[in-house]
Amino acid sequence: MSLDFKGKALVVKSITEAIQAGSCDETITTNVRQALCELMDNETIELPPEVYVNDGDHYARRLIHRDEDLNFTIMAMTWGASQATPIHDHDGLWCVEAVWHGQIQVVQYELTQDLGDRVHFEPRTTMVAGPGSAGSLIPPHEYHTIANPATDQTAVTMHIYADALEQCCIFQPIENGWHERIEKQLSLDAA
């Protein structure tokens, strides 16, 4: 079930128009990133209180909208203090991620060797982003981690995916930059 909130219709309309105006992944993600930045500046949009409540042991994924015609999904993610992901992919889907509240740290990785269930990564860029910041991931450059660097504050991000992201691969460290590839089914958290 998707969340409802003041300004949701505007969010859905703006993202829909941004996607429809694009002709390829690069222009679509550029359009969506620009639309998200404009939406975050709009004081009439009030995300529901539920998205500011973190889960004690993992970051929370909450559905805002699933578009059946264009196949995109809008998710809100809530990051408790110091919560983070392992290195992961987005199952080949483009994604635009925006910081709505707090800060997040994103580290992008390059896949340098792929032996099937074992892969080697090298970190490339690290950035800390605050409210109003948005970035995109376009496969094959989709490997990254996300973390809430704060030890005493919740962070909230909004993610727009090309489709429903229901599974991904996470990568658990083994040694010397090598990781084990693990397929993971994703679920939604209660509002």
For 128-175, how does the pLDDT look when each residue is reduced to its tens digit (9 = 90+)? 999 999 999 999 999 999 999 999 999 999 999 999 999 999 999 999
Per residue in 102-112, pLDDT tens? 999 999 999 99
User: What percent of the chain shows pLDDT beyond 90?
Assistant: 91
pLDDT bucket at 101, cuts 50 / 70 / 90: very high
Which sequence spans correspond to the domains of the chain?
8-185
The domain covering 8-185 belongs, at the CATH homologous superfamily level, to Jelly Rolls (2.60.120.10)
Look at residue 1 in the predicted model and tell me its pLDDT.
Answer: 72
Identify the bridge partners of residue 77 per DSSP, sorted by sequence position: 61, 157
CA 15 to chain centre: 15
Q: In what order do the strands lie in the sheet with 73-79?
A: 60-66, 73-79, 155-161, 95-101, 134-137
Q: Supply the mean pLDDT for the chain.
A: 95
Per residue in 33-70, pLDDT tens? 999 999 999 999 999 999 999 878 899 999 999 999 99
